[in-house]
């Protein structure tokens, strides 16, 4: 996770630069749900969850949350099903908990792995 790398790496920077890197890490951490959580998706509805973390979000989601509706290619499959990012569920969510970025009872964490 880039956020934890920024925090860990900040320890090796001079104090003036450290603050900027930690502010960036805090900003990215605050945006995780905006960038990586889909609500009201077909897969979420099919499994009775209101929201879930997506496998990968298109880069333009930083400027436009609607980008979660864009197709996110699956390169590790012979035939790409061409699913929107919002229809692909993340398997990396336990890492958010492991790195201390989210608590286990967080609703989006629980609905993604539950």
pLDDT for res 33: 96
pLDDT for res 88: 96
pTM of the model: 0.89
Mean pLDDT over each residue of the chain, to the nearest integer: 95
pLDDT for res 49: 94
- Angle (deg, nearest 10), helices 2-10 and 15-36: 170
DSSP of 92-113: -HHHHHHTTSS-TT-HHHHHHH
Confidence of residue 76 (pLDDT cuts 50, 70, 90): confident
């Amino acid at each position: 996770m880039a956020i934890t790398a920024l925090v860990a790496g900040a320890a090796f920077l001079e104090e003036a630069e450290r603050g900027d890197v930690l502010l960036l890490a805090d900003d990215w951490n605050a945006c995780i749900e905006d960038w990586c959580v889909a609500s009201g998706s077909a897969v979420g509805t099919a499994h009775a969850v209101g929201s879930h973390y997506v496998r990968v979000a298109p880069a333009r989601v930083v400027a436009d949350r609607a980008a979660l509706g864009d197709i996110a290619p699956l390169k590790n499959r012979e035939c790409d099903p061409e699913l929107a990012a919002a229809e692909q569920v993340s398997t990396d969510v336990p890492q958010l908990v492991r790195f201390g970025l989210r608590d286990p009872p967080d609703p989006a964490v629980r609905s993604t792995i539950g």
